[in-house]
Structure 1
Amino acid sequence: METEFYGFSHYGPNTFMGTEWGNDRRPNPKEYAPQTIPDCDQWVESMHAAGMKGAVVICKHHDGFCLWPTESTDFCVTNGGGVSAQVDIPKLFSEACKKYGMKFGVYLSPWDASNEYYASSTYVTDVFLKQITELCTNYGELFEIWFDGANGGSGYYGGSYLTTRTIDKKTYYDWDNLTQRIHEMQPNCVVWGREFRWCGNEDGYSGKTCWSNFDVNAVNSETTNNVGAEDGLLFMPSEVDVRTTSKWFWTSSEQAKSAEQLFKIYLESVGRNATLIMNCAPNSDGKMPDNVRTSLSGLGTLLTERLSNDMALHANVTAEQTRTPGNFSASNMTDGDKTTYWATNDDETTGTFVIDLGELKTIHYVTLQEYIALGQRVKGFTIETSQDNGSWDSFATGTTIGYKRIMAKNDDTTSYGSGTQARYIRVKITDSKACPLISTVSVF
């Protein structure tokens, strides 16, 4: 959750075939035909410019083509066209991530529309696990491994030549044991679908109410995934996936979302207690398209201009309730230290504090963060502003906070606007599962 924002890079046979899923037919390996070594350095630099802290690269999509020289199948770069035999995408990408100080992750589709063993136990033990092992041992430290939920069959998640090869994805892949194996090889790697959840849509938003807790047996739907489960037994935060264009893989006609559109997505994902993984698709020349680079750079500029100058840092804070004994003072919320926090006593599930900015400021956003290491607690809060500490105006009202909640005026993410003039910010925690623990309050 502290990584917050990272990239996704879809590249492979679909890039050259002009397709999105690669599941309608088995591609000829020669259709993957890079004419020069893909410029993964440029891909990662583009994502770094947007303010991302890591990146996940596609290593095998649903078509089954492996973008590294693997011993698990001959359907890989070794037998591709052009200079494919010289291309090892996870190697190139991991080196680029290291250069730019970015965390490195991999995507490996569990579903394999081409492998003859798919839907048998042999596929899981001799193909899928071997691929996982290669990616987990040959390319350095991973912060995330992304699996995807597609699993063959007919309909949206199926292919015309795989309609009879369906499986029960909850049991077929033996997720518990696979996850354990991954952690043995990569102790700091989080596993898709086991330690974080898909938010339920690909449109770039999480619910305004978003619990990090989840019930893994809940019906997989936009509503349940987007909101989470207040009393869910698993800590399984939401991850929002979204595209900078309209498709996952590059096509020549793709238009990029504007920097303002991407900033809105950031507010509605990272700003709603979720992490954001944003897809940036390279073209068939192995380059990140100029229009995508422009939007990513513009997003990085907006994030810096709008969310980097914290006017509340080291500001004076007073609270009506403070936990005793111990160091739980209100000043912990503005000390710049994420490990300290303000708290109330155990029997107090509400609380109020006021931040004095020292002088009149123009305010656009107020950010609240719980000390999430001790659980997500807050169920309701209000934010008010004042110029004189006497007359108060409503700024925004919310439900959950979690790791981070970024609140615009009236929780309206559609426009940056002219801002609100205020010197004082008053936050009321109106409901909480247990005594609230607030680690950080920021004002931008």
Structure 2
Amino acid sequence: MFEHRDRLAATPAHELALDCLAAGIEAARPDRAVERHCSLDGDTLRIRGAEYDLAAYDSLRILGGGKAADDLAAAFEALLGDRVDGGVVVTNEPTADPERVTVRRGEHPTPGEGSVSGARAVLDAAAAADERTLVIAAIAGGGSALLCAPVAGLAVEEMQAATDGLLNAGASIDEINVVRRACSEIKGGGLAAAAAPATVVGVLISDVVGDKLPVIASGPTVPTGTDPAGALEVLDRYDLDVPAVGEYLRAADPEAPADVDVDNHVVVSGRDAVDAAREIAADRGYSTCVLSTRIEGEATAAGRIHAAIGAEAAESGDPLAPPGVVLSGGETTVRVTGDGTGGPNQEFALAAADGLPESAILGAVDTDGEDGSTDAAGALVDAGTVEDPAAARRALEKNDSYGFLEPKGGLLRTGATGTNVNDLRVLVVPENDGDR
């Protein structure tokens, strides 16, 4: 899974960190999720305990978007075969090639023309559904950018400016998606409304802390309505001036949730990745501690806290005695003040490296294989990664974690993984230096 794995796995502790990360990503794959939670018995489709009688429908279509939407569509094709008679999904780096569902390319993390045309194709296909249609909505993280259907009067360039500005300011995904929902025809239940009176079943891969349905891809199948005033508050909070967006929001009235019935099922999330990583560590005889699957905030601060936990474990045996593995998930953010290259997981790892005890290894990845806008999924570091603390601090100030870690051989590269369940972090604290 990881490029140059032999070089990265320099010690048993490094190898364990890599194995835990790989197991977490593997467990989050859409085909694995569909195998765990979906089944077909005659004409009965079961999804997480809910049952759907396929004999009641003349047509079954798969519509949606997100970084794993193509893999999710392919997994349902494998389950349902020729019962699937069409569909459209939008992703940015296709890793699957379903036969009956068209895969469109959009842009991420900033929406572009492909995101707009792809979203329009999804909405058009939804509008063609009728009461005898079952729509399986394949929704995954990244769908907020990949399914971009600006309301009349707003252009994609204005949504690009709003998205980039909020990302660079370190806004949370919850905050960003308040703005996106207020400015979109497909978010906040728009996809489900377009498909009415069809039966719509959302199958979601969560990249959101707490698996909040309205936030995953901004909720195309979750009727929430819009909150223009709340969106304006977000823009004001980060002192972001996007004139066209602000003008639209000031004139817009709140919209009530669409009157549609939708079943939504989360089939895989960051918890699955953390649990799979923990199982690997436990099988190797390590004690384990799941710190949290909800770590948010500044990446550098979170990294330093993880390093402090590692140092405490090595010295006192709290919160776990070595040999141990501390695991966490969630989604940290970066406030961009410099002109360097990097991503949240690389900043997290670099900030942690300077405070790690001599024996510890830390790996941090974005499970989709793309940390920020770089070609790295994250980084693998130890106490030897930072020989010059002042240089590491300068790199963090310039947001140039990639530039610092690349010559050190610390970057982790996987390519597109076909899933997206946020960040996964593994901190290995061996029993003694001989384990490294």
Common fold, TM-score beyond 0.5? no
Greater RCO (Cα-Cα under 8 Å, separation 6 or more): 2
TM superposition score category, shorter chain reference? under 0.3
Higher helix share: 2
Q: Which has the larger radius of gyration?
A: 1
